[in-house]
Every structure is written in C-alpha cells, then in structure tokens.
Structure 1
C-alpha cells in the first residue's frame, strides 16, 4: 500500500502532486490534510499546504497476488486473470498444467477458492464472493452436477426411497438444490463438513 506526503500552494495542488507521483487517481486514495497552508500577503507569510495521500487497499488485486504466490510455490507456470463484477470476483487460472490445480473432482480448485474467499474478506469492509476457475471447469462441473441431480432424483422417485449424493462444498450443493426445486422431491443437506452431502427424498 503506497503512501506519500506532498506539498503545494493549495491543498488541491498538493493532492494533484501526490497523485501524479503515485500515478493513481483520486478515487483510489484516502487524503489527510496535514496543513491547510496560508496565502500570505503580497507574497509574505505564505505557507505551503501539506497532505498525506494513502492508496486504498484493493482486496481483489491483493488476492490475485496471493493466488499467484501459491501456484508459484507449486512450481507451476500459471497466470491469474481477474474480473470484478460488483461484489463478485472471478479468478481465471490460465496455463499448461491446470489438471494439477483442478485435482480430483475439483478438490484442489475448491481449496484454492476457499483460500481466496478467506483472503479477500480478511480485512475488507465489504463482503466479496469468489470463484476460482480453470479451463472452464466450473461450467463443466455445473452441467455434470445438474445431470447427476436429475438422474438421482429419478432414482429416488422410482425406488420411492431417499438417495444420498457424494459430499460436496456448499456452492455445489446449492446447484443441486436449485435444479431439483421444481421436481417432486425434497432436498436437504446432511452431515458435517467436509462430509456434508445432499439427500434427495421423494415427496
């Protein structure tokens, strides 16, 4: 986080000077006026204004750097692309060795997403939701979960008995709940993390 003290004939001039030196815009900083300064009379008794300009934290950028550090420690040549939409941040991992980062049924990718979620909200004054994706895995996984949910709901209906799915993280359980909400079944989560899973019960 950058911080700079600058001076000028006026507060505005001092702020402008600081922004130029930091190469950032006014909406990215907090400004503290240390001295308002004085104009003086006929050039005598003038006093320069002094401000302290501090760059605001950017949780999305900080978390991007954190993810880059993790993949570098894994000795992988992977880039991280960040997209921010309101309170949702998407981190797209791009590289040649993404299978290692995805892991079995996305377990490694889910772990990275969990860490990113903790990191971005650690000292933030607003809550961000995070998605970490690689090679479009999230879309493929969603399609797979939707197909599985429908298949298992049909099985529950045919057998007229409860059917339990494999353990999965909360955001994946939400997908299953949503896809089955208009079918003649009831879905609920059972068990404790990390073994929490969905149970499909015929109505």
Structure 2
C-alpha cells in the first residue's frame, strides 16, 4: 500500500519513531532492514541505519473504520461499521444500525457525502489513489433495483421522444445505468454536467451510429 525508506541512529529507533508518528499497530506493517548502521570506530566512520517499511492494508482498514465510526456515532450510538479491502485500491465499508436513515439522507445524498469525505481522508494517508465504497443497510442493492426501473421507464420515453435526460445521480448510479443499457443496442448513453449535478442522457441510436461513435459519447461514464 505504501512504502517508506527511513534512516536513523538504529533500527530500533526508526521502528519506535515510526510507530509513534503513524499511530500504527503491530501487524499493520512489514519492514526490511537495508542497513543496520554502524557506530564506527571511536565515533569515526559511523553510518545510519536504513529501514524500508511497508504499510499494510490492515492499517488503512482500521483507520477508515475508526474515521467512519467517529462520524456515525453523532447520528446514532448503536451504529456498527465494518471495513475491508477488496484489493489494494478499493475499500468497502458497511454501515448497520437503526439510525442509518439519517446517514443515508434524502435520495442517498448523505451517504454520498460521507463516501466523498472518507475517500479524501484515506487518500491523504496513502501514496496511491484509492476508492471507497460505502453501503448502509443494503441501500445500494435497493437503489440498484430502483435504477433498473428508472432505466426501463426511460427506454419507453426514448421510443416516443428519441432522447431523455435523467435526474442527477451519484457516480455508482450512473455506472449502473450504463451497465443496464449495454443490453439495449438501439440506444446510446452518456453523462453530462459537473458533480454533484452530473446526469445521464439516453437517446435513440441514429442511422450509421457506430460503436466507435457510442464509445466516444460514453467515455465519461462516471
């Protein structure tokens, strides 16, 4: 996840200072001694120790879980948060409890805002760009069914009107729309606008509208 090369008077000093400055726990990092260092002879020709430290995913899982828990407790003290890394760049967070409705907010706006600030938080800790996906009470799964219904109704309108613009959606919702529409070759879809007002446009495929043209229109599928 993140590698650091640290120098110091000794390996022990490097590890101690590293643990204190990062608030990291045993098992959340690996280290390799590059150079043990040397005190030299009579204080001459001394050499610093060099250690390469790799911060593991467990550290980021814990930090993200703590971050989300601290926020969620202001909504309800009985909310439970669990986090695990799907891979090195994607973290999934699950929020459960009676008060999750307050976190989700109207049309999922609260959940989207929480995911946004959680992504900023974790990216500041990592040296690679990471993605955070948060679900609360299976909201995303329920939203997936709703998006499917929205797409089916939009397709009927496209048949009559030729072109339909959907309401603004979160990134994961727009991706669902595009995924659903892959099974409908007679239409093309593309995203328009700037967050948080970005929305999907669905229109009837024109004569001679090739896959290349469709790909050009849909390269902003987020």
TM-score range, shorter chain: 0.7 to 0.9
Give runs of aligned pairs for residues 160-175 of structure 1, distance below 5 A: 160-175=161-176
Mapped partners of 2:60, 2:25: distance in 1: 19
Query: What is the CA deviation profile of residues 7-34 of structure 1, one whole-angstrom value per residue up to 9, with x for unaligned ones?
Result: 8xxx8xx79xx8xxx9734x71345655
Counterpart CA distance in 2 for 1:185 and 1:23 is 53
1:189 match: 191
Structure 2 unaligned residues grouped into runs of 5+: 1-7, 17-23, 41-48, 206-222
Cα distance in 1 for residues equivalent to 2:167 and 2:72: 28
What SS class does the counterpart of residue 122 from structure 1 fall into? helix
- The question of whether the paired residues in 1 share the 8 Å contact of 2:64 and 2:83 is answered with no
Whose Rg is larger?
1
Structure-2 change in CA distance of 1:182 and 1:31 (3 Å)? same
1:1-203 matched pairs, under 5 angstroms = 24-25=26-27, 28-30=29-31, 35=37, 56=55, 58-86=59-87, 87-157=89-159, 159-183=160-184, 184-203=186-205
Cα displacement string for residues 55-80 of structure 1 (whole angstroms, at most 9, x for unaligned residues): 83722321221111111233542111
What's the counterpart of residue 214 of structure 2? Answer: none
Q: Match for residue 5 of structure 2?
A: none
Tell me the distance in 1 between the aligned counterparts of 2:175 and 2:83: 24
Q: Distance in 2 between matches of 1:76 and 1:105?
A: 23
123-132 or 100-109, larger mean C-alpha shift? 123-132
In 2, the alpha carbon distance for the partners of 1:170 and 1:134 equals 17
Q: Distance in 1 between the 2:25 and 2:93 partners?
A: 25
**RMSD (Å) for aligned C-alpha atoms:** 3.2
Aligned to 2:20: none
TM-score (norm 1): 0.73
The answer to whether the 8 Å contact 1:71/1:77 transfers is: no
SS across alignment from 1:198? strand
1:174 Cα deviation from its structure 2 partner: 1.1
Aligned length: 178
Q: Indicate conservation of the 8 Å contact 1:167/1:194, yes or no.
A: yes
In 2, distance between residues paired with 1:93 and 1:160?
41
